[in-house]
A = this chain, B = another copy of it.
Amino acid sequence: MAAPIDFYFDFSSPYGYLAAQKIDALGAKYGRSVNWHPVLLGVIFKETGMAPLTVIPLKGDYSKVDFARSARFHGITDFRMPSKFPIASQAPARIVLWLQARDALLATRVAKALFRAYFVDDIDISNPGLAVAVAAKEGVNPGAARAAIDDPAMKDGLKREVEVAIARGVFGSPFVLVDNEPFWGLDRFEQIERWLATGGF
């Protein structure tokens, strides 16, 4: 079996949410599993000097039009902009990292549930208690999940994930690496598909 695809995302990223609806199926079509990597765009933006899309003049207004239109274009009908945006995503990211060391399939299921909570049900998953409640619905022990958010080992683990991401050139969300070939954005999924189908072009 070919190497897994690396899927980098921030839980606060609308395009990350949309890509999260597609990436596993895309990988599976070409016999690839997907490694999900939650990262922190806030830390990455300090490296690049970039800013959250929605605060950039002109681009911010456009992005709100494009988030919703891109969701419709991709047939994702249950997207809506959260009332609080952007948010810090340490809490959901640490829960997922902690689960990945225990049960990778459960970790991915919880990641999808956290994304849905934020971008469908407007739940503020930056709040540790609310993030834990989402994970608990997927069968995760809430006390252990809550402890993981404050665990120094998880804090360090997430920091290292972000450092590795930056070292690999990740500057946005979603960001996909296929055999080290970098693809930024949901709008590169067609290029990813051709890359997977042909081995590069």
Chain A interface residue number, banded: 20 to 34
**Could you say which of A20-28, A69-77, A86-94, A134-142 contacts chain B?**
A69-77
Q: Assembly of this chain: how many copies?
A: 2
A188 within 8 A of B: yes
Q: Which residues of A are interface residues toward B (Cβ below 8 A)?
A: 44, 47-51, 56-59, 61-62, 65-66, 69-70, 72-73, 166, 169-172, 182, 184-185, 187-188, 190-191, 194, 201
Interface of A is mostly: helix
* Chain B proximity of A74: nearest CB distance (Å): 10
Q: Which residue on B lies nearest to A56, using beta carbons?
A: B48
Q: A66 to B66, alpha carbons, bound, how many Å?
A: 21
CB contacts (< 8 Å) of A66 on chain B: these are 184, 188
User: Are the CB atoms of A171 and B58 closer together than 8 Å?
Assistant: yes
